[in-house]
Amino acid sequence: MIRKARFSDIKEIQRLINRYAQDGALLPRSLSELYENIRDFFIYKEKRRMLGCCALHISWKDLAEIKSLAVRREARRRGIGNRLLRTALQEAKELGIKKVFALTNQEKFFKKNSFKKIKKEKLPHKIWGECIRCPKFPDCDEVAMIFLIDN
Ligand SMILES: CC(C)(COP(=O)(O)OP(=O)(O)OC[C@H]1O[C@@H](n2cnc3c(N)ncnc32)[C@H](O)[C@@H]1OP(=O)(O)O)[C@@H](O)C(=O)NCCC(=O)NCCS
């Protein structure tokens, strides 16, 4: 089941994201950041266990970003990431957003979901604010991928 996140989910979301952040797959998130952005988050639950999360963060007039997409290791390759991403894209469509991007090293996963690789420089400067907090900065290994919504 996929639904919007609630306050009671936040600590579990943080644990999931920060476990991946330890290997550099995601940026770590503080509790305050997660509480502030709770409305961005969807979670996937099965038998009362949260198996995945995904955030859709609006960054510009008609542009949003997929952030903190994570599926528990033991639940990967079962289509959960795919379903979370589709749900976030559906919300973007309902909001009238035209472009959704991700900064990622999971190029194959996003390609499979019809995202196309673009030059990072094509994205507005505003979105680079977070990069400074990344432990890998300035040696970034992520690519920018974009999905165009037909509204
Ligand atoms: C990326 C991630 C969210 C994918 O979640 P998932 O639930 O395993 O993905 P799905 O099962 O929905 O995969 C859909 C398709 O994407 C492709 N795919 C998924 N993970 C892949 C990988 N690691 N390598 C290559 N292809 C992959 C596959 O083609 C898969 O279809 P298939 O299993 O029929 O071949 C998950 O691997 C994860 O949490 N990774 C760590 C955090 C991360 O890097 N997040 C992305 C940051 S933007």
Look at ligand 1, atom 41, and give the residue with the nearest C-alpha: 70
Domain that holds residue 7: 2-148
Q: The domain that contains 96 carries what CATH number?
A: 3.40.630.30
**89 Cβ closer than 6 Å to some ligand 1 atom:** no
Largest CA distance in the chain: 43
**25 Cβ closer than 6 Å to some ligand 1 atom:** yes
Q: What angle do CA 143, 127, 98 make, to 5 degrees?
A: 80
Q: Is the model's pTM score more than 0.85?
A: yes
pLDDT by residue for the chain (151 residues), tens only, comes to: 999 999 999 999 999 999 999 988 998 999 999 999 999 999 999 999 999 999 999 998 899 999 999 999 999 999 999 999 999 999 999 999 999 999 999 999 999 999 999 998 888 877 777 777 777 777 788 899 999 998 7
| CB-count exposure of residue 138 (10 Å: 0-12, 13-18, 19+) | exposed
Residue 43 CA from chain centroid, whole number: 11
Total domain count, the chain: 1
What are the φ/ψ torsions at residue 147 (nearest 5 degrees)? -125, 125
Cα of 31 from ligand 1 centre, angstroms? 25
